[in-house]
Structure formats: C-alpha cells, structure tokens
Amino acid sequence: MIAASLIWGLSPIYYKALAHVPPLEVLSHRTLWSFLLFSLVLLVQGRLRDLLRAMAQPRTVLLIAVAGLMISINWFTFILSVQIDRSVEASLGYYIFPLVAVAIGFFVFNERLSKGQILAVALAVFGVLVLTIGLGAAPWIALILAFSFGTYGLIKKYLELGPVISVTGEVLLLLPLALIWLWGVNYAGWTGVSGRPGGYFGYEWRDSLLLAMSGLITAGPLILFSYATKRLALSTVGLIQYLNPTMQFLVAVLLFQEQLTIWHILSFSLIWIALAFYTRAGLRRAR
C-alpha cells in the first residue's frame, strides 16, 4: 500500500519528463501500454475468459464505458496539470477526493454521516471557496480530478468485477480512440516533432522508453493497491492513501518550485483540518 501511494505520489516527476509531448499523445500511449500490460497479467493468471464474459454483458459494458470515460478525464487532467505547472492544484484534488466520496455516499446511497464527517465536508467546501475568492477563479483542475475520480468510484460500486478485469475492460474500450489518435499523430501529421510530422514515440529512445513505461506506471500501483485492500482494514488504506497527495504536494513545491500563495496555504490548511476530522471519524467507526 505504501509502495502504491509512493508511485502515485512521485508520478508527477515522470510526467514532467514528458512535458514536451502533447497530453493527448501521452494519454493515448498510457491507454495502449496499460491495455497490453493488464492483458498480459490476465493471461498469466488465466483470467482472460473472465474479461470476455464481462464484455459480453451490455449493462456491464455500459458501466465500464462510463468508468473508462471518467478515468480518462482524470488521467488527462492530471497529465495536463503537470505540464502547465499546476501540480499543487492537482494534489489539492486528491486531498478533496475522500470528502467528495463521503458526499456521494450521502446523496446517492443515503449513508448516514457522523458529525465529524459533516464537519469535514463543510470545511473542505469552505477551503475551496477561500481559494476561489483568493485567486479569483475556481480551482477547476482540483475539482475535475476530485469529482471525476469520485464518479469513477461510484460506478465501480455497481460493477461486480475485480480491479484488474474492470480496468482492462476500460482501457479496451478506450483503445480504439487511442489508436486513432496515435495514427493521426504518426501518419496524418496532426502534431510535429522538430518541424516534421509524426509522434514522439520512435523519434528518440528516451521519450519512447518513457511512453512505453506509462503502462507500468499505471498498472503497477493499481495491482499493488488491489492486493493491499484485500489484506488491510479500509481505515488503514484510507490513512496510507494520504501519502499520494502529500508526495505530489511536496514534489510540486520543493522540486518544481510552483508558486504557493497565502490563499493556497489557507485552503490547504482548512482541507488538512477537514481530513483530520474525517480520519478520526473513520477510525472510530472502524473500531
């Protein structure tokens, strides 16, 4: 679980190394290589038939398609945030996500909230409002990341599939779009490298290797996460997951040296307090 969170938390460094590659091209390669790696995992486990059975059910395919759309929006927004030097805001989105999940549980599943959880959600909303007023614009990257991942989690509740099978189905449905984009980039001259039509894969070994590794960066932590959730209490999983946005925040501020205004500090402080209340409530409920 710690390894998965650290990989996710340090992933901005990886995407910063690909900042010169258009985000849609990076996303397309992430989809392609993730599909190949996930398919290989299922092949080794002898579970490809489970994927085929799942994709033969219209309702399941529809849910997987919507989940794939949500996770692709999340991936694209995250990649873009690193490229345009908004990693601080991206980390804010992953801090907000647990509280968005609580709100979804309340409104969609009529889950009862404790006083601590209600206070946590209220503080998070206030933190976002403070940042919006201070900067003169809503933190759209953070909100898109939090709500797209929250919606993704909501759809997963309706899917009776393991994480590897469901994600393989998602990237399978996204694969045609990724291949069309990569074909356009490489053969139709939709983008250029150093003035010539063509994509970045195959042009330079460093970029090619980094793009191919996007599958491992995606699949590796997810597989680790799926094994961890089967062996740990959810309260422990929730606590360790805060390593992810914390590492992203530290990378953005210390390594990328992104601007951190007083409004960012106020907003993050409110949300960190909110997460303290949320975590305390979760631990009490777990006990």
pTM above the 0.75 mark? yes
Whether residue 197 is predicted with pLDDT greater than 60 in this model: the reply is no
Distance CA 217, CA 223 (A): 11
Where are the extended beta strands (E) located within 111-187? none
User: Tens digits of per-residue pLDDT, 86-127?
Assistant: 999 999 999 988 888 888 888 888 878 888 888 888 998 898
Look at residue 235 in the predicted model and tell me its pLDDT. Answer: 63
Cβ atoms 280, 45 nearer than 8 A? no
Range of the domain at 269: 2-286
Look at residue 190 in the predicted model and tell me its pLDDT. Answer: 67
Distance CA 36, CA 79 (A): 20
Domain count, the chain: 1
User: pLDDT confidence of 198, banded at 50, 70, 90?
Assistant: low
Lowest mean pLDDT among 47-61, 75-89, 189-203: 189-203
Look at residue 194 in the predicted model and tell me its pLDDT. Answer: 47
User: Tens digits of per-residue pLDDT, 211-248?
Assistant: 999 989 988 888 888 777 777 776 677 778 888 999 99
Distances from the Cα of 104 to the Cα of 18, 46, 113, 224, angstroms: 34, 35, 11, 26
